[in-house]
Chains A and B, each alone.
Chain A
Amino acid sequence: MCSVPTCPKAGSDGFLENAGKWYQFQLYTSSLQHRMDSFVAAGDESAERSQVATGHLTLSPILSRIEPEFPALIAAEEALTRAILESADLLSASDQRVLLATAGYAWPGAISDRLAPFSKTSGGHDQSAVVRFGRKLARYGPWCTKADCDELTGAGYPEIAVIAAVALVALGHFRCTVAAHLLGPEWLNEKPATTEKEKVPQWKETTSPFFSSSHCTSDALDFAFAQIRALFGFVPSLVQLQSWVPNLLATEVRLLDAVFGPEEHLSQIQKHRVAFRLAAANCSNYLVALHGEMLTLIGSTPNEILDLFDNPEAASLPEPDRALCSEITKLRIVQRGGYAAVDRKLLVNAGLTEAQIVEGIVTAAFTNLLSTLQFGLGATPDFPPARMFHVKDLYLSEEETRPTQNENRLEDPDIEIAARVKAGETDAFEQLVRSHTRRVFRTLYGLVGNAEEARDATQDTFLKAFEHIDKFEGRSKFSTWLTSIAVNTGTEILRRRRPVESLDIEDDEHGFRPRQVRSWVDNPEEALAKSQMDDLVRQGVLRLPEKYRTALLLRDINQLSTEDAAEAMGLSLPATKARILRGRLMLRESLAPHLSKSEGDRHV
């Protein structure tokens, strides 16, 4: 027996922009922790640890939807994860966990927030030397030096432990790159709950590589070297440096083969273009040299390579390749300027298939893994790079990488642009229009149900915003203020119409009880064609009573936080929550007949 307390007040979980995606990421991060705990709990019994690793340490929760198409990739990632964790035996369990989560600290917004608890040691300040090194590597890879590694070996860490630490951080970046894509833009665009103000480290001249290669031989090494010769024609120095840990190296080469080998979706040249472009964005001279050489070997011209380095949008490439290289740049781990997510719709419009996009993302994830390994091990380029990064290139990023002193600007860069518009700089308004057109259109299309009317209303919304920009005081986000104007504009249109279109579903103010309680199919997305599903969602949303429709549009389709949705609608938080839930339950009712299993009905 338990009493039922009143509904909780506003939660502080502002980053929960989207419940569906939150569940996805929850699954990812909690299973990550669970898997680490299970692995550590398995103790020294290598067979048991191996079983734990095989059973749980895969990307499958997050990549499950693509698993049937990429079985070799999933298996290779699993094998690499197992090898990394097995090679990390010399690190403490706590250090292993923290290092794997440390990459999250280098990623923005909600990803950083979700991984932050795992990226701190219990005391917060008692990080071991290897964890401090890992944090620097995760966030400021190009700044790592031989002295950093020497400090660790001087403190008693054998080279194999340092390589394992580097590999753990690299694996974290691989996973975050994939997660960042699958979770969607709001996870990258959101400000982290805690912004750590820290100075970009001082760049120091270093000698490299940071280690010498091992001269040991083993079957695993021989096989890995043969495999990589088949792919690249030689054994890159980055690979040789890892010969201290043959099993890690062998599984890394297997993953490399799974990423670059198949040509069912993207061709090899397309994948090397993606890798080259991202290597350039990551300031990795080593990978720029490696993939530049590969591109030359498979037929790219020097000019094409230089264009791809300087500005992929201007490169003379086929449209899908240009779009892919340009979007992939957003997934760099050496961040310069704001964060953004890959625009899947743009890529589809450029002619890429979903499978090609996934391959592009995985190629990017693997490039981030290799970039991290290279930054941590200090591998020297095997060829002269097409272009070299210099110290000044890194410091160009300093102003943008370092958190600004102006918290408002950090939270909402639109506030500064709006201030310029207020001051008479009309042209600055164009940036705001371009940034928010799609969001405003979605709100209006969902409200008025007609695309042409929504286009006109979108323009009217911006005109009203411009005319009343003086009333925007920067106390809320600009996007929230603009959304409230869009909602008012849409509501006016609906009120001019006769109220006939939205009340198909019963609106009982005093309670809503679900009627459809048959189990749903396991994968609704596979039960119907995308166009059918889109039609059902459109019809279902447009049949909702206006107040619930608006709440659902803002929260689930425009992915505002509950607090921002409340502000945009001018409602209290409890009222907003109630409307969002009602809208979701009503929409569920309209989808249920199409997605329920064919069993007998049961009622609550």
Chain B
Amino acid sequence: MFSCADFLAEFGDYLEGCAKPEIKSCIEEHLRECKSCQVIIDSTCKTIRIVTESETFTLPAGDVEPIVENVMTRVRKLNAT
């Protein structure tokens, strides 16, 4: 039987859409029966969506140019020495 442990070991590729067909069908068969694994895959997909769409680590657009200017000043200085 395809257990919950098997599911946890294999569902990374399933999430990425690159699971082998035989694994994919085992996972889907297991998901039809196992409520807990349904919850895990649903909440993991939601986690991926949330983290992907989050802009918590994003540099504000207006802050790019000052960094570019500083880097280029330092690069030109470095080049001159």
Contacts and interface: CB of A to CB of B under 8 A. Distances in A.
Contacts of B48: 18-20, 556, 584
Contact of A459 (B8, B13, B52, B70): B70
Contact of A463 (B9, B39, B54, B74): B74
A531 B56 CA distance: 9
Interface residues of B, number: 59
Contact of B4 (A462, A516, A562, A604): A604
B45 A19 contact: yes
B67 A562 contact: no
Given A19-B17, A345-B55, A458-B67, 12 more contacts: A2-B29, A4-B23, A8-B19, A13-B17, A438-B58, A442-B57, A445-B59, A455-B63, A519-B42, A535-B56, A537-B56, A581-B15
B55 A604 contact: no
Contacts of B63: 455
A22 B39 CA distance: 20
Interface of B: 1-2, 4, 6, 8-13, 15-20, 22-23, 25-26, 29, 35-37, 39-40, 42-64, 67-68, 70-72, 74-76, 78-79
A349 B61 contact: yes
A27 to B, nearest CB: 12
Q: Is the interface of A mostly helix, strand, loop or mixed?
A: helix
B68 A16 contact: no
B2 A534 contact: no
A562 B54 contact: no
Given A463-B74, A588-B43, A604-B36, A345 B58 contact: yes
A21 interface: yes
A434 B53 contact: no
A547 B44 CA distance: 19
Interface string A326-364: 000000000000000001011001000000000000000
A244 interface: no
A517 B35 CA distance: 9
A426 B75 contact: yes
A518 B36 CA distance: 8
Given A2-B26, A552-B51, A580 B57 contact: no
Interface residues of A, number: 76
A577 B17 CA distance: 13
A20 B49 contact: yes
A555 B68 CA distance: 25
A430 B72 contact: yes
Contacts of A513: 8
A604 B16 contact: no
B78 A466 contact: yes
7 contacts: A7-B13, A13-B16, A20-B52, A437-B67, A442-B57, A519-B42, A588-B44
A566 interface: no
Interface string A572-597: 00000110110011011001100100
B16 A8 contact: no
Contacts of B54: 533-534, 537-538, 557
B8 to A, nearest CB: 7
Given A349-B62, A433-B71, A442-B57, A578 B12 contact: yes
B50 A591 contact: yes
Contacts of B70: 459
